[in-house]
Amino acid sequence: MPSSSSSRRSVWVERHRRRTDRAKPRSATERGYHVVTYARPGYGPSTPVPGRTLADTAEASRTLMDHLGAERYLVAGWSSGGPHALADAVVDPRLVRGVLLSGSFAPYDADGLDFLTDMGLMSVIQFRAAARSVEACRAVISQMAAAVREHDLAEVAPAMASLLPKADATVLHGVYGVENAVSMRHGLAAGYAGWSDDLHALTGPWGFDPSTITAPVELWHGAMDRVVPLAHAKWPARHLPDVRFHVGDREGHLSIAVGSLGEKLDQLAARLG
């Protein structure tokens, strides 16, 4: 990829909301990347699409980049955005030049993976409910969404204790935590359909084969991650054709990603020549 900042493109897939947290892409924009974010269906004012798959949402991403006139771009996904970024690379292989994954989930039925092992309690509750039924999932997510909308960060943080190692707690109580709280409330203001549909998209058939991805992949994961345990990263490390796997020994789910997007994109871009 040329070094000219005007030619750089990155699509960064957001998990919960239409408005992105400024703390996350700032390090990329400072390096000259043009960062494009969008709301997946059901978040913020975006219309829900019940039963959507990862591949379905990737088609929306491709349409967006076509509309913007992008000639080539990188995709980056954090947490549940990771599988969506992989879907983008399959759906738009001609223009997606590389993929950056941070704290990304593996497929629910991935061979050799116990999806819930070492996962924090809040994550376990969500995925167990999603596996039971649509109704059970909606009941759980409605309660969690109400807690996010109705309480401030200081009240919500204790409930997240099972998910947060020290490195993540530090990030959550900094600038990112304030921006994230505002962003999540915006994403959930009209309801929790996006959150619930995301869980079903992650636990159901993805709609594509990750092993067919030809673009280079940079895979980052925190060894202390309790939202998405490290075992999830070992699956794409084994199955993606062109992947570099980086483990942050003292990092968690937040600390592995917040503030370092630009640096990670640079490492990915350097592989493209």
The string of pLDDT tens digits covering residues 78-112 is: 999 999 999 999 999 999 999 999 999 999 999 99
Mean pLDDT, the chain, rounded, equals: 85
| Residue 222 clears pLDDT 90, i.e. is over it | yes
pLDDT at 150: 66
CA distance readout (Å), 238 to 113, 231, 267, 269: 12, 11, 20, 22
Per-residue pLDDT band at 22 (split at 50, 70, 90): low
Per-residue pLDDT band at 13 (split at 50, 70, 90): very low
CA distance readout (Å), 101 to 38, 83, 231, 234: 17, 8, 14, 12
Quote the CA–CA distance of 79 and 65 in Å, as a whole number: 22
| Residue 56 clears pLDDT 70, i.e. is over it | yes
- Higher pLDDT: 124 or 11? It is 124
- Higher pLDDT: 179 or 261? It is 261
Q: Which two tokens stand for residue 142?
A: 């409605």
Kindly state the average pLDDT of the residues 11-19: 36
- 17 and 183 in contact (C-beta within 8 Å)? yes
